[in-house]
């Protein structure tokens, strides 16, 4: 059967490997995870859903390949990328690739980073992957908690919550990864800011349908997929987007309507020109959700802050006591 026909016929969650199964007991995981210390955990393991794929069934990219901005002709300007800049070296990681791999382990200008994207929560976060002098690299567990990607480090096989960057199972339990400032922006904006920047390109040619969205219509659903069973927010639609800085959050609609919000030392801006990765079948044809930038005033002027653009239900489940600001509350 042709790959594109399979893409149409198989439901998105099965295609990407997230087969919804009952919560799996620790004893049933031990054969696949013999080096993971399940006794050392800060969560209820019953909250972790087993996925269809095994460990690394959704393969991380550990040796990313790049091309210069001038060499990339098949990435539409409106498509989203996660961009980082380290000491003047700028790289962009298209969501069309991360959609299918979820993790890229890279080193940018000497700084080891892991670039992560969870489609179900719309959460993109870059983490430093050096802890106490040890460089860690990360893969996918094939598990979800609160619809969010659970990753693992290959050095200790501890499990980490992508949304918070905190280890939740194993010898690294309760250890915190350090997030690195990044932007979720259109390819056009990245090119404008970094004309000499580098863009990640597929390692595996066209073996995956890069540019396609297997979660067609996801961000216009009334609620997340049925396996999410936690409480939903009541002040905003569950799959509306919110801009998060630590435990503070603003609805994207509020940011969009203002164009610029200044609060304390934070400056949040919005401009049009970025397609949703989770709307139409082809990302480039998706609705324009715009570009958000969050910066912080320092003695040197404005610098990029760590922020994410998440679905509201995901923020609410991890930060249930934090208010989602809408401009009316």
pLDDT for 60: 97
Q: Taking the model in full, what pTM does it have? A: 0.93
pLDDT for 229: 85
Q: Which residues of the chain have pLDDT under 50?
A: 1-11, 14-15, 19-24
pLDDT for 27: 66
Q: What is the C-alpha separation between 303 and 259, in angstroms, rounded? A: 18
pLDDT for 320: 96
Q: Which of 118, 122, 123, 166 is nearest to 144 (CA)?
A: 118
pLDDT for 20: 46
Domain with CATH 2.102.10 in the chain: 3-60+101-179
pLDDT for 49: 86
Report the relative pairing of strands 130-131 and 291-298 from DSSP bridges. unpaired
Backbone angles phi, psi at 3, to 5 degrees: -60, -40
Q: How far is CA 89 from the centre of its chain?
A: 22
Answer CATH for 3-60+101-179 from 1.20.1740, 2.102.10, 2.60.120, 2.60.40: 2.102.10
Report the relative pairing of strands 308-311 and 266-271 from DSSP bridges. unpaired
Q: Which of 172, 103, 159, 164 is nearest to 132 (CA)?
A: 172
Partner residues linked to 111 by β-bridges: 108
pLDDT for 207: 80
pLDDT for 3: 38
Structure tokens given for 155:
């050095």
Q: Which of 262, 243, 231 is nearest to 326 (CA)?
A: 243
SS3 category, 139? strand
The pLDDT tens digits for 226-258 are: 878 899 999 999 999 999 999 999 999 999 999
């Amino acid at each position: 059967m042709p790959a594109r026909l399979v893409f149409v016929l198989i439901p998105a969650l099965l295609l990407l490997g997230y087969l919804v199964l009952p919560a799996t007991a620790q004893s049933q995981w031990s054969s696949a995870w013999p080096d993971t210390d399940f006794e050392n955990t800060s969560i209820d393991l019953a909250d972790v859903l087993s996925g269809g794929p095994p460990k690394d069934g959704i393969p991380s990219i550990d040796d990313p390949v790049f091309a210069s901005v001038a060499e990339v002709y098949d990435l539409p300007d409106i498509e989203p990328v996660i961009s980082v800049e380290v000491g003047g070296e700028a790289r962009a990681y298209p969501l069309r690739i991360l959609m299918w791999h979820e993790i890229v382990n890279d080193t940018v200008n000497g700084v080891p980073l892991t670039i992560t994207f969870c489609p179900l929560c719309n959460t993109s976060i870059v983490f430093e992957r050096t802890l106490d002098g040890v460089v860690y690299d990360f893969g996918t567990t094939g598990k979800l908690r609160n619809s969010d990607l659970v990753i693992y480090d290959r050095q200790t096989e501890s499990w980490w919550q992508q949304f918070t960057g905190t280890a939740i199972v194993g010898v690294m339990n309760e250890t915190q990864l350090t997030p690195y400032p990044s932007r979720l922006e259109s390819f056009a904006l990245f090119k404008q800011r970094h004309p000499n920047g580098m863009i990640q390109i597929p390692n595996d040619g066209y073996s995956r349908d890069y540019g396609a969205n297997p979660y067609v219509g996801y961000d216009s659903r009334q609620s997340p997929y049925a396996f999410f069973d936690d409480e939903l927010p009541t002040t905003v639609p569950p799959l509306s987007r919110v801009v998060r800085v630590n435990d503070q959050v603003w609805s994207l609609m509020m940011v969009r309507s203002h164009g610029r919000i200044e609060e304390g030392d934070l400056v949040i801006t919005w401009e049009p020109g970025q397609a949703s990765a989770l709307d139409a079948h082809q990302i480039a044809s998706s609705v324009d959700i715009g570009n958000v930038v969050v910066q912080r005033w320092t003695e040197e002027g404005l610098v990029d802050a760590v922020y994410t653009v998440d679905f509201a239900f995901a923020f609410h489940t991890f930060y249930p006591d934090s208010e989602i600001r809408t401009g009316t509350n």
